[in-house]
Amino acid sequence: MYGNKHKRPPPHFCLADKHAGIWTKFIVAYSISSILHRQQVITLYSSRPRKLETNGNKFIHQERVPNIVCILVKNISLKKKVKKNQKKMKNFVMFLLVIVLLFTMVSCQKDQDTISSEPAPQISGDVKTSDPGESGAQLKASVMMEYPVSPRFGRPNSTSYLFKVYDPIGISALSVKLYDKATGNIIYFSLSYVGSYWTLSTQISTTGWFDYRYVYTSSHANISTTTYAPLCTTRNTFTTCPSLISWPFGADGSSWTNRTVDINGNYQTWRGGEETKGTQYHYGYGWNEGTHMGSNECYADDWNRGTGSQDLGAILRSPLDGYIANFGTYNTSLGQSKYVAIVQESSDGNLYRFYVGHLQNYPNGLYIGKYMRAGIDQIGNLGASGASSPHAHTNMRKVTNGANTSVPFYFSAQ
């Protein structure tokens, strides 16, 4: 196949043709064995064993014989190089796997550290521990959103107050805590979980002002440090004219609709100066009468149970759901009159100050800022201090933004 003038073929095997003798086949077999054992390149030309010469591991025939079949076999060094590259690739893949594993471990540790570093829910009052298992509570509190109560003002046993907290996790039950600012009593209402929200719609049976907070049901721990303006339940209405406020003379069983009381068999009826105008019971001192003059006194009204002293010492209760603004004395033409003043905020944001004068005394434990419940909490006893006879001098003023204007009112809130 190759003549004498041809260059030596590339480092491949060249095997004898089918007419080669046994010696040729032996040499071919031996050459292949040597190649596989020594991993060297061998070029083989052969046709007759008598003409064969050896040169190291190479077998060269002097005479080229035609009809030789050539079979190309890969270079052993190339095979060795491929194995070496495969080993390098394997090492590189192992290195990448180690890097990915280390990165995953570091990421998991970082996430765990982030969760554990969240601030714990703030706890106030008489509570135990954080509710849903430490880190779980911390993560939960970080994703919740609280809503102010709606509405903020309402009537007892009538208005439904809506409390709501957004909580996409919903693991631990929530409640709302109501703190009665007049009595100090605490009431808990459980919230229901529906569609990622904890909600409660409820009525409140008593009048007064209530601070409220959202808490975990089991531990009563606050879910956050958020504070809210207190909610109010009241029967008083300030958006009408006259304003309608609560009856203050109810300690003896009387009311706006039934003023007559039995005092040792002597039936007496509460009467006001304004409402008795034009009747035999009118004794003056209604709106714009007597000393009830001027912008800050024109709607004052005096109340008693007759012309004598039979109502002396009668218990007076707060007509407002509010707090004690001040108490003490003020000057009259007849001396020092004891008084108590209470302030209530209305649903439209205005402030109203009610005061009663000529008191006999004050109840124990009275102090400025104390919250009072309309028609329930005592503010004093009817007297005659700074007056000619026992009666209750009543007046209400609008005091929003420094105003001090007398406004008309009835004790007819229902």
pLDDT digits (tens, 9 = 90+) for 157-207: 999 999 999 999 999 999 999 999 999 999 999 999 999 999 999 999 999
Q: What distance in Å separates the CA atoms of residue 355 and residue 397, rounded to the nearest whole number?
A: 9
Residue 25 has pLDDT above 70, yes or no: no
pLDDT reported for residue 170: 92
Query: Of the candidates 216, 164, 150, 206, which has an alpha carbon nearest to the alpha carbon of residue 182?
Result: 206
Looking at the predicted structure, is the pLDDT value of residue 98 above 80? no
Q: What is the pLDDT of residue 106?
A: 59
The pair phi, psi for residue 410, each rounded to 5°, is: -125, 150
Average pLDDT, integer, range 378-404: 95
Please name the residues in contact with 30: beta carbons below 8 A apart, sequence gap of 6 or more.
Answer: none
What percent of the chain is modeled with pLDDT above 70? 70
Q: In this predicted structure, what is the pLDDT of residue 114?
A: 43
pLDDT tens sequence across 353-376: 999 999 999 999 999 999 999 999
CA–CA distances in Å: residue 143 to residues 165, 167, 278:
11, 7, 67
Q: Looking at 75-84, 325-334, 338-347, which range is the least confident one? A: 75-84
Taken in order of first residue, the domains within the chain and their CATH numbers are 1-73 (no CATH), 135-233 (2.60.40.1930), 243-410 (2.70.70.10)
Compute the distance between CA of residue 355 and CA of residue 329 in angstroms, rounded to an integer.
11
Q: Per-residue pLDDT averaged across 221-234, rounded?
A: 96
Predicted local confidence at residue 83, as pLDDT: 63
pTM for the full predicted model: 0.67
Report whether pLDDT(149) > 90.
yes
In angstroms, the CA 44 to CA 23 distance is: 13
The residue type found at 106 is V
What's the pLDDT band for 142 if we cut at 50, 70, 90?
low
Beta bridge partners of 351: 345
Per-residue confidence (pLDDT) for residue 283, from 0 to 100: 84
Percent of the chain at pLDDT above 90?
Answer: 58
**Beta pairing partners, 264:** none
Nearest to 148 by CA among 227, 259, 234: 227
